[in-house]
Amino acid sequence: MKFTGRLTISDADAGSLEFSATQDEAWVQELLERSAPKEQIVASSAKDWASRSKMSLTARVESVGKEYLLSGSFQAQVPSPCSRCGDAFEAPRVSHFHILIRSPKSKNDGDVVDDETIELKTEELDLVEVLSEQLVMLEPIAECPAQKKDGSCTLCHLNPTFSLADDPESAVKSLKESPFAVLEVLKKKL
């Protein structure tokens, strides 16, 4: 039977469940599709974004008293727009996770639930849902790359800056169209 990314949590009572997977497996592709940024951000559909992503993961589910622990790690390379130049590049995403899981039979009314605890309504654990959330949480608001000594971006390795000497007409036009240039004019009027 092929693993689908869903398991019955009580199967870990007999011993820990261990698995590994890559982007070549259907359930990992589904995980990546669920994690994809909006089409307007990456200029591609969730399916296309997932097909261009690379991911490998290892995880383990083990019984810890009446509860369960999902722990593991994943490494991914996902298409992401550079906030400096706007071009797409392969962004690294790495996570190590430890998530406490409470099954319906192990819940107590006084239990505190935090960000690293999942309370299941049924005995089935959907790893696609849980791990796609882990990947989404790694996605920055914007990639803010540092610059190398030559001025190029450390993420996309391009150098989208230009100087007045490179193309004086474009540089002057760009400076005039800048919203900051408009603000500077308004500031001088005050």
Kind of pairing between the strands at 124-126 and 6-8: antiparallel
Q: Is the pLDDT of residue 162 over 50?
A: no
What is the reported pLDDT for 70?
Answer: 92
Task: State the CB neighbour count (10 A cutoff) for residue 22.
Answer: 11
User: CA of 67: how far to CAs of 71, 81, 95, 125, 183, in Å?
Assistant: 13, 40, 22, 13, 58
* Predicted structure pTM score: 0.70
E strand or H helix at 168, and its extent?
helix 168-177
Average pLDDT, the chain: 80
In this structure, of 27-41, 87-101, 140-154, 158-172, the range with the lowest mean pLDDT score is 158-172
Pick the more confident residue, 38 or 47: 47
pLDDT-derived band of residue 77, with 50, 70 and 90 as boundaries? Answer: very high
Domain-wise residue ranges, the chain? 6-138, 160-190
Q: Is the pLDDT of residue 106 over 70?
A: no
**Cβ neighbours for 156, distance < 8 A, ≥ 6 positions apart:** 82, 84, 85, 87, 89, 145
Residues of the chain with pLDDT > 70, as a percent, come to: 73
Quick one: tokens of 67? 């509860």
pLDDT-derived band of residue 14, with 50, 70 and 90 as boundaries? Answer: confident
